[in-house]
Amino acid sequence: MFIINCPFCGERDQSEFKAGGEAHIERPKQPTELNDEEWAEYLFMRKNIKGIQFERWNHAHGCRKWFNMLRDTSNDEIKLIYKMGEKSPIE
Ligand SMILES: [Zn+2]
C-alpha cells in the first residue's frame, strides 16, 4: 500500500485508485495506412518496465478523474503526478 496524491482530491490511499497502464501512447495519425501488425502494436504492446515508467491512473473510488504518474515500478516510489492533457515535464 502507498499514498497517491490525486491532483484533484489530495492524498488518498492507493486502494482508491486503478492503474491504467502506460501513459503517452499516441494514436497513429493515419490508422488506415497501418498494416495489421502495426495496428496490433499500437493497440496491445506496452513496455511494462521494471523501473521508472510513465503511467495513467484513475481515482476510481474518488473523483473518477484520470491523471498521469511517473512511478518506479520496482518499489512504488512516485516521482511525479500531473493532470491529463499536460505535457510530460520529463521527456
Ligand atoms: Zn481524485
CA distances from 82 to 36, 37, 64 (A): 33, 32, 15
Print the domain residue range for 31.
3-83
Distance 85 CA to ligand 1 centre (A): 16
Rounded to the nearest angstrom, the distance between the alpha carbon of 75 and the centre of ligand 1 is 23
55 CA from centroid of ligand 1 (Å): 16
In the prediction, which pLDDT does 88 show? Answer: 75
Question: Distance from the CA of 33 to the center of ligand 1, in angstroms?
Answer: 38
Q: What is the CATH number of the domain that holds 60?
A: 3.30.2270.10
* 88 lies in some domain: no
3-state secondary structure of 38: helix
The pTM of this model reads 0.86
pLDDT digits (tens, 9 = 90+) for 15-44: 999 999 999 999 999 999 999 999 999 999
Quote the CA–CA distance of 23 and 55 in Å, as a whole number: 4
Whole-number Å distance, alpha carbon 26 to ligand 1 midpoint, is 24
Centroid of ligand 1 to alpha carbon of 81 (angstroms):
12
The grid coordinates of residue 41 equal 502494436
Tell me whether residue 57 is in a domain: yes
**Mean pLDDT of all residues in 62-73:** 97
